[in-house]
Amino acid sequence: MIMKVIEITAFGAPDVLRLGERPVPVPGVGELLIRVSASGVNRPDVLQRMGNYPVPPGASDIPGLEVAGVVVSGDAQALARLGFKLGDRVCALVAGGGYAECCVAPVSQCLPVPNGLSDVEAASLPETFFTVWSNVFDRAQLQPGETLLIQGGSSGIGVSAIQLAKALGSRVIVTAGSDEKCAACLALGADHAINYKTHDFQAEVKRLTAGQGVNVILDMVAGSYVAKEIECLSEDGRLVIIAVQGGVKSEINAGLVLRRRLTVTGSTLRARPMAFKAAIAQALLEYVWPLLESGRIKPVIHSTFAAQDACRAHALMESNLHVGKIILTWGVA
């Protein structure tokens, strides 16, 4: 059987993305096949398209890290063990292959579509919530009553982190690149929003925390931001770097790290072992899915595009004009 896919025909600008055809993949042991309704668009997809994010060994060269749709086949024992059956609506985190009409996913990285959500909304969940949970709550151990600073609060990661941190009892400060984006972050529950183009976020964080600093910072910029972020952390503060849009090199005040007992850490998700991602999936099912089903956390969808218009979706992602997620659709979603 043949399926439609979005291929990267060469490394470069968005127009290198083209509609193509591939054989439908066959699920192996511990895997299922999803007929995809919607595919999430994420910054790593853009980096892969530009040749700056190599595909992990064994993963599909087709871009796309999250999908939602219907289970059409798979490892029967693995399906039964995790409570899935043919015809179930699921969303999944995948290491590649998401921009396609059909996608193979490890059963352990699949989650049921939360009650009341569309496939478009469900496709916006896996990459962001796996990332936020792993970094903010597992790695940085954000606690109720602590303060989280999110760099890029209007991004897909940002809108998820704002809502989840607030729902679990933390104070949230965000940065964003316009007054309109700041307003959107406040509407999602952020306590304070700083327009980094018109204000010095370091000075504003100090002011907003009465000089004490924040407990945790979620950073997608790195580069020159890291030195300022070190200054923004309270005693025993934790800085988690999940992207390096501002560059890979930073110069910091190591004395502050020593005196305040700071932690500077980071991670990427795509190449982590399946068991690591499976553990995150179970935590999301236990702690986050009930918040989605009750409406305390809501998917934030900025735009949807027909899959064949993936180049337009990538152009929007690169423009940084969006608030929330960008989704590709395949047929009915």
- Residue 331 pLDDT: 81
**Residues contacting residue 121 through CB under 8 Å, at least 6 positions apart:** 299, 301
Choose among 214, 219, 203: nearest CA to 158. 219
Distances (CA, A) of 172 to 60, 136, 213, 301: 37, 12, 12, 21
Q: Which pLDDT value is given to residue 269?
A: 87
Environment class of residue 327 by beta-carbon count within 10 Å: exposed (0-12), middle (13-18) or buried (19+)? Answer: buried
| Confidence at residue 246, expressed as pLDDT on a 0 to 100 scale | 87
Kindly report the pTM of this predicted structure.
0.94
Low-confidence stretches of the chain (pLDDT beneath 50):
333
Predicted pLDDT at 271? 82
Q: What is the pLDDT of residue 332?
A: 52
What are residue 192's phi and psi, to 5 degrees?
-145, 145
Total number of residues shown for the chain: 333
Q: Which two tokens stand for residue 160?
A: 């998820």
174 in Cβ contact with 192 (< 8 Å): yes
CA distance 21 to 102: 11
Could you tell me where the beta strands, DSSP code E, fall in 226-282? 233-241, 263-266
Q: Which residues fall within 8 angstroms of residue 204, CB to CB, at 6 or more apart?
A: 192, 194
Q: What is the set of domains in the chain, with CATH numbers?
A: 2-125+270-329 (3.90.180.10), 129-266 (3.40.50.720)
